[in-house]
Structure 1
Amino acid sequence: MSTPKIDVHVVSSGILSDDVLMLGESLIKQLRIPSQQHLALQFGSFRHSVTVVPVPRYEGLRISQTLARRMGIYSGTPLRLLYQQSTRTLALGPLIGVLVSRDHSNQPDKPFGDITMFCRELTDACRSQGAYVYFFTPNAIGSSLSSVEGWVYTKGWHRLTLPAPDVVNNRLTSRKLENRPVVQQFMGEIKRRFGAHVFNEKFLDKSEVFDALKKDAGLQKYLPESHSLHNYTMLKSMCSRYSTVFLKPVRGSLGKGIIRVSRLGPDNWQASYATALGTKRQTFGSLVKLFSTLAGKMKTVRYLIQQGLQLIEIGGRPVDYRALAQKNASGKWAITSIVARTAGSQHFVSNLARGGTLSTVRESVAKSNLPAQHRGDASLRLSRAALDIAKGIDMYIPAHFAELGIDLALDTSGRVWLLEVNSKPSKNDNTPLKEGKIRPSVRMLIQYARYISGF
């Protein structure tokens, strides 16, 4: 990543015309930029013909006020500079757009609700790396598809009309929003017309993930037996093999709607439902009766039926692990963090929203019922599994991902299992967020955006 980082200074249009840029003489020599000749200036989808004038003993770039306004740039913006000789294009960037579900114009201090602090953190990280980030919702996409009403942070949150970005990080939290025609059209159009990159471009279904990873012999060891649940025969078949099975909504998240089915005796079954207030239990005299209560739910919800696992526990509470896998500055998968999540009391799912607690892998293993002989390399085995699974998703699912939340578990024999993969991992689930602190996961996002955009 050798593209130089420069500060862009905005000067009055009376002093500098819109088609002239003033650039430090040493930078012109370093990048072999022809001066006093027509070049194409590029910033995201923005294109403009300019000539470059060298300035001795100066390190930055000066542009006119009118040009800055058209580009959405304010004075003092740090950006990377890239000159492409073959197309005579001087590119500034990278311009990163983060697509979020909603904004609140009536709350100027907290326009993105719970993720506002993450958006500030990303803005600070971009400034330090010479990237420009803005945040936008599906409603902010312009009819031309080459401009967007985005939010930027500079001494407070402001809305500006900005060019379509070089890189889009899709952080939409609803399939309904993601599937809106304007969103799909925008993502397709900017890739086609401007060579933009969109990552985490779609949600993952649980059945899609397990079906894809089954194709790889090397990944099968991580996969609990899983099938789409269509009928009683499948439920009976799985329950004859395992004393506990889990029914998981194919499109669920945050542990919502998970049902645990356990055999209590020869003709005695219990269904445990994960609810916000705790676990609700119901017993049945036969598996047929249990299935008939599920049949109503199955009309509206598709379920994956999965082998129950004997997870390690701390004080009777199951523990699982969230690994954050990200593509790095070289475009390769790496594991940024792994945290242990212990289920809250009265719960069998570990989500923080349901009273779960976070700890390090080492702490969780030390406090758990995992036998001593399996403790030493637990962290390494979890990392290796997460990395293998991230590469498998890339290979077998035709979409661009650069960040995955991979939920893993250890059973009491020390074996690593995959629970699910989330393509929109929460930003509060790896390390706690502190004002002014830039987490490695946020830095990695920008490094990858620079890698794919060439900056």
Structure 2
Amino acid sequence: MSTLKMDVHIVSSSMLSDDVLMLGEALMKQLKVPPQQTLTLKFGSFHHTVTVIPVPRFDGLRMSQTLSHRMGILTRTPLRIRYQASKGLLSLGPLIGVLVSRDHPGQPDRPFGDITMFCRELTEACRNQGAYVYFFTPNTISSVTSQVEGWVFARGWQRLSLPAPDVVNNRLTMRRLENQQNVQHFFKELKQRYSGQVFNEKFLDKSDVFDALKRDVSLQKILPESHTLQNFSQLKSMCSKYNNVFLKPVRGSLGKGIIRITRTGPDQWLVSYAAVSGTKRQMFSSLAKLYTSISGKVRTVKYLLQQGLTLIEAGGRPIDFRALTQKNLSGKWVITSIVSRTAGSHHFVSNLARGGTLATVRDSIAKSNLPSSFRASASARLQRSALDIARGIETHIPAHFGELGIDLAMDTSGRVWLLEVNSKPSKNDNTPLKEGKIRPSVRMMIQYARYISGF
């Protein structure tokens, strides 16, 4: 089924009836749209009966002002169009809804705060590909799921009433919002009633990821030993096997709450806590005393207990890697970018929020203590591992993902390890955000939305 890109022109309702569309004659022939026959016009959840009139020497679509208002379409909007003869269905789209955590109606120039520029970038990328995007929040989801109050950008930000979209990209940053009843009800209705799609529909807990991937024999070689922390004996067992172990909040992000436990003597233990100001350290004369000290945290927060790794370093600062994997226009997982992250001088985690710095894989490998015999193949092995993990997540976790941020490490023997998988990857970790620049990660997201919506 082919789709074509064209501009939508809005004309006065006094000149054109709401149940009539005017379509360029050449477009009608290419799409094999029958003239003067009753068809169903579709735009997201919106359906309307129309007839189509061919217009010579015209390469767009004309509709009445009243009809465009009902659909939330603005004049000169570029859209893709497809025709399904078996259903008598003329579809415009794809209509993409991006679900964000909050908006600020009182700030018309920056309604989405720090991510406003990303939203502008996404809007421009959609125009280039013939897609239509709007942005909405949990607060604007009503009980009438066929209509959504959303923001669009056209010579400034404006709020419109729009149909439920063909595709939702879930960019909520808090589990509390994602788990709200109205959000989950909207997702269910979108999929069941309107045949819509939701991708990146849920957060991933660290323990869920490692437990799921353990079932894949081909991935076991890149998984550090990991367990959900249950009791002291479990901690003692892991500490007897490894000189370093990590405790990571299963729902943590940005390096928050990570604890490193290091054996420094026969029964001497150093505990390092990741903090914004740097690493805080505390010594213990026994593992039992150490566990007593952290037991309050362990009772209130679920932790993943994980084997410590000897990461490659540069100047004594550990290096890891963030791979952005996305699905493309064919629905296949691809690598959009891989960057290296070097921990700040007073930190043992590499997150940018903790003073980490970005570099290319080649530059960081060249400056690292990785033996030269492993350097030539390092990038290829990182890419292969990231794609294997993305496919493993898709296979073993029952949820729909279109992009994944995959944190990888490499030890001094050149072995690749999985650190973490993020289902809401930041767009700031691959290339700098610049006014007027559309990044590959943004273009790829739209291509996948086109694939799953049939455009």
TM-score (norm 2): 0.99
Indicate conservation of the 8 Å contact 2:324/2:405, yes or no: yes
Say which SS state the counterpart of residue 340 (structure 1) adopts.
strand
Q: CA deviation at 1:142?
A: 2.2
Distance in 1 (CA, whole Å) between partners of 2:357 and 2:109 is: 29
Where does residue 346 of structure 1 map in the other structure?
346
Work out whether 1:126 is the aligned partner of 2:126: yes
Work out whether 1:182 is the aligned partner of 2:182: yes
Distance in 2 (CA, whole Å) between partners of 1:264 and 1:277 is: 24
Q: CA deviation at 1:397?
A: 0.3
Identity of matched residues, %: 73
The within-5 A match list for 1:32-111 is 32-111=32-111
Distance in 2 (CA, whole Å) between partners of 1:104 and 1:293 is: 42
Letter in 2 for 1:403: E
Gapped regions of structure 2 (runs ≥ 5): none
Where does residue 321 of structure 1 map in the other structure?
321
Distance in 1 (CA, whole Å) between partners of 2:408 and 2:226 is: 15
Distance in 2 (CA, whole Å) between partners of 1:78 and 1:206 is: 41
Where does residue 272 of structure 1 map in the other structure?
272
Distance in 2 (CA, whole Å) between partners of 1:125 and 1:38 is: 33
Where does residue 443 of structure 2 map in the other structure?
443
Letter in 2 for 1:68: S
Work out whether 1:259 is the aligned partner of 2:252: no
Listed one character per residue, the Cα deviations across residues 33-53 of structure 1 (whole Å, up to 9, x for unaligned) are 111111111000011111111
Say which SS state the counterpart of residue 294 (structure 2) adopts.
helix
Q: CA deviation at 1:138?
A: 0.4
Q: CA deviation at 1:2?
A: 3.9
Listed one character per residue, the Cα deviations across residues 221-262 of structure 1 (whole Å, up to 9, x for unaligned) are 110000010100010000000000000000001110000000
Q: CA deviation at 1:191?
A: 0.5
Distance in 1 (CA, whole Å) between partners of 2:225 and 2:309 is: 10
TM-score (norm 1): 0.99
Letter in 2 for 1:346: H
Distance in 2 (CA, whole Å) between partners of 1:436 and 1:2 is: 30
Letter in 2 for 1:158: Q
Q: CA deviation at 1:54?
A: 0.8
Distance in 2 (CA, whole Å) between partners of 1:144 and 1:425 is: 30
Say which SS state the counterpart of residue 380 (structure 1) adopts.
helix
Distance in 1 (CA, whole Å) between partners of 2:345 and 2:63 is: 60
Distance in 1 (CA, whole Å) between partners of 2:186 and 2:173 is: 17
Aligned alpha-carbon RMSD (Å): 0.7
Say which SS state the counterpart of residue 151 (structure 2) adopts.
strand
Letter in 1 for 2:66: T
Distance in 2 (CA, whole Å) between partners of 1:316 and 1:103 is: 42
Letter in 2 for 1:181: Q
Q: CA deviation at 1:273?
A: 0.3
Work out whether 1:454 is the aligned partner of 2:454: yes
Distance in 2 (CA, whole Å) between partners of 1:426 and 1:327 is: 16
Distance in 1 (CA, whole Å) between partners of 2:344 and 2:155 is: 40
Say which SS state the counterpart of residue 207 (structure 1) adopts.
helix
Q: CA deviation at 1:439?
A: 0.6
Structure 1 segments, 4+ long, off by >2 Å, are none
Distance in 1 (CA, whole Å) between partners of 2:335 and 2:273 is: 32
The within-5 A match list for 1:2-401 is 2-401=2-401
Q: CA deviation at 1:294?
A: 1.3
Q: CA deviation at 1:114?
A: 1.3
Letter in 1 for 2:74: Y
Q: CA deviation at 1:120?
A: 0.6
Distance in 2 (CA, whole Å) between partners of 1:375 and 1:125 is: 36
Indicate conservation of the 8 Å contact 2:259/2:274, yes or no: yes
Letter in 1 for 2:147: S
Letter in 2 for 1:4: L
Say which SS state the counterpart of residue 221 (structure 2) adopts.
helix
Listed one character per residue, the Cα deviations across residues 168-193 of structure 1 (whole Å, up to 9, x for unaligned) are 00000000000000000000101101
Distance in 2 (CA, whole Å) between partners of 1:233 and 1:76 is: 67
Distance in 2 (CA, whole Å) between partners of 1:425 and 1:408 is: 14
Distance in 1 (CA, whole Å) between partners of 2:41 and 2:438 is: 31
**Which shows bigger deviation, 75-84 or 293-302?**
293-302
Say which SS state the counterpart of residue 335 (structure 2) adopts.
strand
Say which SS state the counterpart of residue 239 (structure 1) adopts.
helix
Indicate conservation of the 8 Å contact 2:312/2:319, yes or no: yes
Say which SS state the counterpart of residue 318 (structure 2) adopts.
strand
Distance in 2 (CA, whole Å) between partners of 1:56 and 1:193 is: 38
Letter in 1 for 2:8: V
